[in-house]
Structure 1
Amino acid sequence: MTTSKHIYFAAPLFAQSDLLYNQHLVKRIRELSSALSIYLPQENAGINDKSAYADSKMIALADTEEVLKSDLMIALLDGLTIDAGVASEIGVAYAKGIPIIGLYTDSRQQGADNQQKLMALQTPAENQFHYLNLYTVGLIKLNGEIVNTEEALLEQIKSFLEGSDVHDL
């Protein structure tokens, strides 16, 4: 029997594309089990209605409280860099031993066996791959896993709900 689990969904939330993708993915996660409670920060109008006012302390306290009561964090890692808020939330989760599953779908990670792409690394400014901050990646890997598809993410969450440790998945 699955017990109730609280998931914190850490993701960028300032562009319409971010908001729509977050809604899409959280909807899919919520469909996995009625025993899930998911905190999606963009749904907290008290701090994320950008036409209203919330200062930095209000935002930090509200989101940190939700991170700390979570059993699992989902962290979206796509973008030019890992979103600063997401990186901060990852740090809090790591410090408190909350497992983290990172989702990194950037298409530039493909072709790791392509010799032309690998040789291009020797030429200044010809990196064919995307870079993620290794400190933040390390915090996730020390306390969880990184997957590169929505399907893999959903499978990881299902296994977590069935009692598997994120490191064992």
Structure 2
Amino acid sequence: MSKKKIIYLAGPLFTHAELEYNLKLKDMLLNDGFSVFLPQEDAEDAAQERERQNQECIFRKCVEGVDTSDLVVAILDGVDVDSGTAWEIGYAYAKGKPVIGLRTDFRAFSDGVVNLMVEMAIDSLARDEAELLKIMEKFL
């Protein structure tokens, strides 16, 4: 039996809605047979935690999370991609890790789905959760 692939789930984590959506995606990916590193839990990256530990510690845990992952799933919703998510995408790209984008937001740039640099760094783009799970099948 092969080892479960580890996904680093990148996305904004600053509103209740974002935190809940991240948890929903994590559960969906766990149920699909993956292991998931979720910064809001595994790096303790939440507002209350930032008061207890310094930002460098959170940063290091997230870098280690990307380093030890097999691939990255990045939430690309919003007018512009979350800046932390964009950094995680670029870092994963530089490390040669596959990056799967998820953009459920129907807004688009005039010449692309998201920022050109982000769009060129991702391997596949899903427009909803069902399409994401279909793309993820090749990584099981």
What TM-score does the superposition give when structure 2 sets the normalisation length?
0.88
User: In structure 1, what is the equivalent of residue 4 of structure 2?
Assistant: 4
Asked if the contact 1:106–1:130 (Cα under 8 Å) also holds between the matched residues in 2, the reply is no
Change (3 A) 1:139 1:128: closer
Find the aligned partners of 2:74 and 2:110 in 1 and give their Cα distance: 24
User: In structure 1, what is the equivalent of residue 98 of structure 2?
Assistant: 99
Task: Report the residue type matching 2:38 in the other structure.
Answer: L
What TM-score does the superposition give when structure 1 sets the normalisation length?
0.74
Q: Which string of whole-angstrom CA distances, capped at 9 and with x for unpartnered residues, describes residues 90-143 of structure 1? A: 01100000001000111235xxxxxxxxxxxxxxxxx88986211111111xxx
**Does residue 89 in structure 1 map to residue 88 in structure 2?**
yes
Q: Aligned ranges for residues 13-162 of structure 1 at < 5 Å?
A: 13-33=13-33, 36-44=34-42, 47-51=44-48, 52-109=51-108, 132-140=114-122, 144-161=123-140
1:37, distance to aligned residue in structure 2 (A): 1.4
Change (3 A) 1:129 1:137: closer
- After TM superposition, what 4+ stretches of structure 1 lie above 4 angstroms from structure 2? 127-131
Asked if the contact 1:47–1:53 (Cα under 8 Å) also holds between the matched residues in 2, the reply is no
Q: How many residues align?
A: 138
Asked if the contact 2:5–2:139 (Cα under 8 Å) also holds between the matched residues in 1, the reply is no
3-state SS of the aligned residue for 1:107?
Answer: coil
- What are the ranges of 5 or more consecutive residues in structure 1 without an aligned counterpart? 110-126, 162-169
Change (3 A) 1:23 1:156: same
Find the aligned partners of 2:90 and 2:40 in 1 and give their Cα distance: 20
1:54, distance to aligned residue in structure 2 (A): 3.1
Asked if the contact 1:108–1:129 (Cα under 8 Å) also holds between the matched residues in 2, the reply is no
Find the aligned partners of 1:135 and 1:128 in 2 and give their Cα distance: 15
Change (3 A) 1:107 1:49: closer
Q: Percent identity?
A: 38
